[in-house]
């Protein structure tokens, strides 16, 4: 009788352990939360004005010459590993340019030069980030376009690379005959 009682107890114990293992194994896993990713900031300027400085979510992005950029990367902004349609960044920037050829004001002090002939505009905008995939994240790339338009891409590819999501080439100064350039354009382009 004791043997049968021990066998019964043993069976219940085995069933209890098996049920506990099965219940634990069948428990659905909580979705894994994707950690934010830190990415560097770089910019490309497609305008004839210099970008004196810019900030993405209050993080410094550097300065950019007219029709230039890339190369330098500043640190950093945090982005979700997964893109969503409502994803935006806050961008502030200053555009500036001389209004006359520098040779005409070289004799003036720096303060006098700035007062008479330096044009600066301060701008800010909330900008949507174009779609990206976690496996192609590299840097947050800000494109300064004519008419104060901004595009923001996230890519591990440099601008001009065949796999860059924008499909755009590196900024180039448009070829303009010398006779049509104004004085301020002549000074920017060294003519």
pTM of the predicted model as reported, rounded to 2 decimal places? 0.68
Q: Measured between alpha carbons, how far is 158 from 58 in angstroms, rounded to an integer?
A: 23
Residue 124 has pLDDT above 50, yes or no: yes
Within 8 A by CB and 6+ apart from 16, the residues are none
Find the angle CA(37)-CA(131)-CA(49) to the nearest 5 degrees: 90
Give me the percent of the chain exceeding a pLDDT of 70: 74
Residues 70-114 have pLDDT tens digits of 767 788 899 998 999 999 999 999 988 778 887 888 898 888 888
Cβ atoms within 10 A of the Cβ of 86, count? 6
Confidence bin at 20 (pLDDT 50/70/90): low
Mean pLDDT over the full length of the chain: 80
Q: Measured between alpha carbons, how far is 89 from 132 in angstroms, rounded to an integer?
A: 14
Cis peptide before 104 (omega within 30 of 0): no
Q: Measured between alpha carbons, how far is 64 from 42 in angstroms, rounded to an integer?
A: 10
Residues 97-106 have pLDDT tens digits of 778 887 888 8
């Amino acid at each position: 009788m004791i043997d049968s009682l021990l066998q019964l107890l043993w069976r219940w114990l085995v069933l209890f352990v098996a049920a506990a293992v099965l219940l634990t194994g069948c428990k659905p896993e909580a979705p894994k939360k994707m950690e934010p990713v830190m990415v560097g900031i770089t910019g490309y300027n497609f305008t004839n004005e210099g970008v004196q400085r810019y900030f993405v979510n209050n993080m410094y992005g550097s300065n950019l010459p007219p029709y230039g950029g890339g190369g330098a990367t500043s640190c950093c902004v945090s982005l979700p590993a997964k893109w969503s349609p409502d994803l935006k960044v806050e961008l502030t920037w200053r555009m500036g340019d001389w209004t006359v050829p520098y040779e005409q004001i070289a004799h003036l002090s720096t303060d006098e030069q700035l007062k008479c002939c330096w044009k600066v505009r301060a701008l800010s905008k909330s900008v949507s980030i174009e779609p990206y995939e976690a496996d192609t994240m590299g840097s947050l790339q800000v494109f300064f376009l004519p008419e104060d338009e901004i595009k923001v891409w996230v890519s591990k590819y440099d601008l001009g690379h065949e796999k860059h999501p924008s499909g755009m080439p590196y900024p180039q100064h448009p070829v303009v005959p010398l006779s049509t350039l104004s004085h301020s354009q002549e000074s920017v382009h060294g003519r």
